[in-house]
Amino acid sequence: MNELNRRKQDVCGTRARYMNAGCRCDLCRAAWAAHQIEANKSRRERLADTTAVEHGKATTYANWSCRCEPCKAAHSVVMRQQAQSRKDRLAADPSIVEPGRAATYQGWGCRCEPCKAAASAYEAGRYERKKARRETS
């Protein structure tokens, strides 16, 4: 990392600090929100020109945030194919994933008891963290 980027990460109120240093103070959150608003505005302007992007593709959904029906349908097809591919690979060789993890339950579709328990514990903890955030704000 060069010196300029390192200095940006040391100063609150920059999107670099938000993204790279993980700072979530009000100044950094505001900088990140302003960046997102500007990026989304630019993306919407480019999407308004229908000749700028090719609709009906999963990449248009992912890269351009297009939510037209053809793009949503294409993205849905790709996601289903990827999920099925993971399940097929898991069925063929269960040793490719670590059992007893919430990520294995969610991402790979493993339904063994240790994975179910890990996913359940994760969701319970997530609920508690969300509840605690609501109480502090």
Please report which confidence band the pLDDT of residue 4 belongs to, taking 50, 70 and 90 as the band edges: low
Distances (CA, A) of 136 to 25, 76, 92, 132: 14, 37, 47, 6
Say whether both 11 and 29 belong to one domain.
yes
- Residues 58 and 44 reside in one and the same domain: no
pLDDT category of residue 2 using cuts at 50, 70 and 90: low
Parent domain of 65: 53-93
Same domain, 5 and 37: yes
Same-domain check for residues 87 and 102: no
Read off the pLDDT of each residue in 109-134 and give the average, rounded to a whole number.
91
On whether both 44 and 78 belong to a single domain, the answer is: no
DSSP structure string for 71-121: HHHHHHHHHHHHHHHHHHHHHH-GGGS-SS-HHHHHHH---SHHHHHHHHH
Is pTM beyond 0.85? Reply is: no
Residues 10 and 36 in one domain: yes
**Which band of pLDDT confidence, cut at 50, 70 and 90, is reported for residue 73?**
very high
Check residue 5 and give its pLDDT: 53
Whether residues 36 and 74 fall in one domain:
no
Q: Would you say residue 133 has pLDDT above 90?
A: no
Do 4 and 40 share a structural domain?
Answer: yes
For residues 44 and 4, membership in a common domain is answered with: yes
pLDDT tens digits for range 74-117: 999 999 999 999 999 999 998 998 989 999 999 898 899 999 99
CB proximity list for 79: less than 8 A, separation 6 or greater: none
Count structural domains, the chain.
3
User: Which letter, b or e, does each residue of 9-29 get, where b requires 16 or more Cβ atoms within 10 Å of its Cβ?
Assistant: beeeebbbbbeebebeeeebe
